[in-house]
Structure 1
Amino acid sequence: MAPVPTPSAEPDDDLDSYVGLDARTAQERARGRGWSTVRTLPTGAIITMEYLRGRINFEVADDTVKRCWKG
């Protein structure tokens, strides 16, 4: 029987530290801290709510991160 895969660990990161950054800086910082997927969304975007381990989401308005969450 094949072993059960172990999901990779998510970065231990302070998500609030991204709020207020410009979108490009936030994306670069997130990638540098080990997030495998960085998603930037406009305010009010309709998205699916599936959880994807290793993904960080930014809600961006006027090129500024307004909200950040993982998954």
Structure 2
Amino acid sequence: MAPIPKPPAEAGDNPDTYVGLDADRAERLARDRGWSTVRSLPPGAIITMEYREGRLNFEVKDGQVARAWKG
């Protein structure tokens, strides 16, 4: 029997703590805190809405995180 897959790591921190940070610094910090995937997006980007455990999304405007959310 095949092993049961383990979902990606998801850090326990609040995504709002990244808002206002420099995008590069925020991405490094998120990875250090245990997020397995960090995705930076421009404002208004068209994205799929599936939820991915372990993913942190950043909306980046003028080099700073304007919004952050899980999935």
Task: Please confirm whether the aligned pair reaches a TM-score higher than 0.5, indicating the same fold.
Answer: yes
C-alpha distance in structure 2 between counterparts of 1:48 and 1:8, whole Å: 19
| Structure 2 stretches lacking a partner, 5+ long | none
Report the counterpart of residue 36 of structure 2 in structure 1.
Answer: 36
Superposed CA RMSD in Å reads: 1.3
C-alpha distance in structure 1 between counterparts of 2:64 and 2:41, whole Å: 11
> TM-score normalized by structure 2?
0.89
Report the counterpart of residue 62 of structure 1 in structure 2.
Answer: 62
1:14 to 2:43 alignment:
no
> TM-score normalized by structure 1?
0.89
Runs of 4 or more, structure 1, over 3 Å off, are 1-6
The aligned length equals: 71
What's the offset of the Cα at 1:5? 3.3
What's the offset of the Cα at 1:22? 0.7
Per-residue CA distance 1:8-65 (angstroms, 9 max, x = gap)? 4521012111000010010000000011111000000000001111000000000010
SS in 2 for 1:12: coil
